[in-house]
């Protein structure tokens, strides 16, 4: 897995962005940007060469699930793997995210080990 | 004195009747006769009168219950402030903790790096393969390592005390939240009393409704996962669900 890829972390809480950023850095990812909701994230993705997105679901403005759908609907972004890290725990929502093409789903509260495992699984599948 | 219909007339009532008739008060006399014939109606009217008064009183009390208006104008806004305080204190604590942790990481990295540098020569020493020049170099490296470790562990202690002290939010926010819970309980009781006063019992809707959800079923963290069948309990449940979908 290439650790130099550009990663976008999307969460409305700055503390959660900071936690995810620290965990990613510990896993070797150093090129990390942040956005506080889907509507800020989408133009960043369209303007940059991001290769991985970690997003929350429940955010003001554009929610994570809608960001995921927008990424999958945009031909230039649809290849980007998206990992959902959220407190949303309804089975219906997890199914909804899977159908929308999510690459991984982590429920909060989560551990550093869970994040590591899911990341490895995602990149392993991408080859 | 009694008759077969069960109507009782007292000597007092008879005298009163004679008085009315003698005074030409025909209407009063008729009313008295009606009362004597129909004591049940009187009781019924009295009871309705009593109930009406009670209802009136309770409605009046309801309006003037200053506690209720205090709740709406003072306690609830105050609770909002308290909850905002909880958000800012917890955010502050999280940031303080992460400041310290982020400052500790490079310190640990530095020590790890120096240990790595010492390692090859040290292992040679342990295997009696060290020459004099290498021994001198090793001494210099170890000297530097001891120096760094001494200074940096002091720094780490200070930072760890910062992490420790950042946890003081728990006590403060705990007290604040407990107060808000008390308020919620009071409002809940008030609402139940109101529903009861209007004759709506809570049993009327025995079917327990689920919390309101927003767009895309958004509900936030589920605090009673054991009592719900529509949610996952943990990451294993998520993984199982996804793999059952062929994920």
Res B4: pLDDT: 46
Whether B64 has a pLDDT exceeding 60, the answer reads no
- The ipTM, to two decimals, is 0.89
- Residue B67 distance to chain A (closest CA, Å): 35
Using CB atoms, pick whichever of B219, B242, B247 lies closest to residue A90.
B219
Contact A15 B94 (CB under 8 A): yes
Mean pLDDT is highest, among A76-90, B50-64, B214-228, for A76-90
Using CB atoms, pick whichever of B101, B220, B242 lies closest to residue A105.
B242
Percent of chain A with pLDDT over 90: 93
Contact B218 A58 (CB under 8 A): yes
Contact A92 B217 (CB under 8 A): yes
Is residue A83 within 8 Å of residue A103, measured between CB atoms? yes
Question: What confidence tier does B37 reach under pLDDT thresholds 50, 70, 90?
Answer: confident
Res B2: pLDDT: 43
Cis peptide leading into A109, omega within 30 of 0?
A: yes
Mapped to the 3 state alphabet, what secondary structure does B159-211 carry? HHHHHHHHCCHHHHHHHHHHHHHHHHHHHHHHHHHHHHHCCCCHHHHCCCCCC
Which residues of A are less than 8 Å from B238 in CB distance?
Answer: 89, 94, 105-107
**Least confidently predicted of A13-27, B52-66, B83-97:** B52-66
Which residues of B are less than 8 Å from A65 in CB distance?
Answer: 216
Res B236: pLDDT: 95
B240 and chain A in contact, CB less than 8 A? no
Q: How far does chain B reach from its first CA to its final CA, in angstroms?
A: 94
Res A79: pLDDT: 96
Helices (H) and strands (E) in chain A, counts: 5, 5
Is the pTM of the predicted complex or chain greater than 0.90? no
Percent of chain B with pLDDT over 70: 89
Phi, psi of A58 (to 5 degrees): -85, 105
A15 and chain B in contact, CB less than 8 A? yes
| Unique residue bearing structure tokens 């940031």 | B95
């Amino acid at each position: 897995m290439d650790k130099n890829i550009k990663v976008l972390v999307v969460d409305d809480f700055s503390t959660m962005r900071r936690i995810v950023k620290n965990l990613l850095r510990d896993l070797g990812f150093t090129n990390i940007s942040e956005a506080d909701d889907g509507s800020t994230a989408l133009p960043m993705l369209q303007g940059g060469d991001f290769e991985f997105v970690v997003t929350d679901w429940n955010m003001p403005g554009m929610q994570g699930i809608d960001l995921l759908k927008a990424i999958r609907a945009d031909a230039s972004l649809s290849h980007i793997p998206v990992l959902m890290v959220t407190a949303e725990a309804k089975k219906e929502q997890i199914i909804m995210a899977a159908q929308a093409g999510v690459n991984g789903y982590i429920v909060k509260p989560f551990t550093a080990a869970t994040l590591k495992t899911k990341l490895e699984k995602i990149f392993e599948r991408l080859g | 004195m009694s008759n077969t219909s069960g109507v009782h007339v007292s000597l007092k009532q008879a005298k009163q009747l004679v008085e009315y008739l003698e005074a030409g008060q025909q209407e009063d006399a008729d009313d008295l006769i009606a009362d004597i014939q129909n004591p049940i109606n009187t009781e019924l009217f009295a009871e309705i009168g009593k109930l009406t008064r009670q209802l009136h009183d309770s409605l009046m009390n309801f309006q003037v219950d200053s506690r209720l208006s205090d709740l709406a104008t003072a306690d609830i806004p105050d609770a909002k402030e308290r909850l905002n305080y909880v958000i800012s204190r917890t955010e502050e604590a999280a940031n303080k903790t992460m400041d310290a942790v982020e400052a500790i990481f490079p310190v640990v990295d530095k020590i790890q790096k120096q240990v790595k540098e010492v390692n090859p020569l040290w292992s040679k020493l342990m295997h009696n393969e060290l020459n004099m020049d290498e021994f001198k170099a090793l001494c210099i490296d170890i000297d530097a390592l001891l120096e760094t470790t001494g200074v940096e562990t002091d720094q780490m202690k200070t930072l760890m005390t910062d992490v420790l002290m950042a946890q003081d939010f728990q006590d403060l926010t705990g007290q604040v939240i407990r107060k808000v819970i008390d308020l919620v309980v009071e409002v809940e009781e008030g609402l139940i009393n109101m529903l009861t006063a209007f004759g709506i019992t809570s049993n009327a809707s025995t079917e327990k409704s689920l919390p309101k959800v927003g767009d895309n079923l958004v509900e936030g963290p589920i605090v009673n996962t054991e009592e719900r069948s529509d949610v996952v309990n943990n990451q294993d449940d998520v993984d199982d669900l996804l793999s059952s979908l062929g994920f």
